[in-house]
Amino acid sequence: MRNIKLVIQYDGSRYKGFQAQKDNDLTIQGKIEAVLSKMSHEKIQLIGCERTDVGVHAENYVANFQTECELSETMILDYLYEFLPDDIVVKSVEEVGERFHARYNVKSKTYRYRINNNRVRNVFDRKYTYHEDDALNIEAMKEAAQVLECSHDFQSFTSLKANGKSTVRTIHMIEIEEKEGVVTIDVTANDFLWHMPRLIIGALLEVGLGENTIEDMKASFEACTKPEYATLAKSKGLCLLDVQY
Q: Each residue of 151-186: b (16+ CB within 10 Å) or e?
A: ebebbbbbeeeeeeeebebebeebebeeeeeebebe
Residue 95: what are its φ and ψ, rounded to 5°?
-80, 130
- pLDDT at residue number 136: 97
pTM reported for the whole predicted model: 0.94
Domains 2-96 and 108-244 are alike in CATH topology = yes
Q: Please give the Cα distance from 151 to 228 (Å, whole number).
A: 23
Angle at 183 between CA 59 and CA 11, to 5 degrees: 25
Q: Which residue is catalytic, options 53, 87, 186, 191?
A: 53
Q: Are strands 47-48 and 182-189 parallel, antiparallel or unpaired?
A: unpaired
53 catalytic, yes or no? yes
Which fold, 108-244?
Alpha-Beta Plaits (3.30.70)
pLDDT (tens place) for every residue of the chain, 245 residues total? 999 999 999 999 999 999 988 777 899 999 999 999 999 999 999 999 999 999 999 999 999 999 999 999 999 999 999 999 999 999 999 999 999 999 999 999 999 999 999 999 999 999 999 999 999 999 999 999 999 999 999 988 998 877 778 999 999 999 999 999 999 999 999 999 999 999 999 999 999 999 988 998 888 888 877 766 568 999 999 999 999 99
Where exactly are the structural domains of the chain? Answer: 2-96, 108-244
The hierarchical CATH code for the domain 2-96 is 3.30.70.580
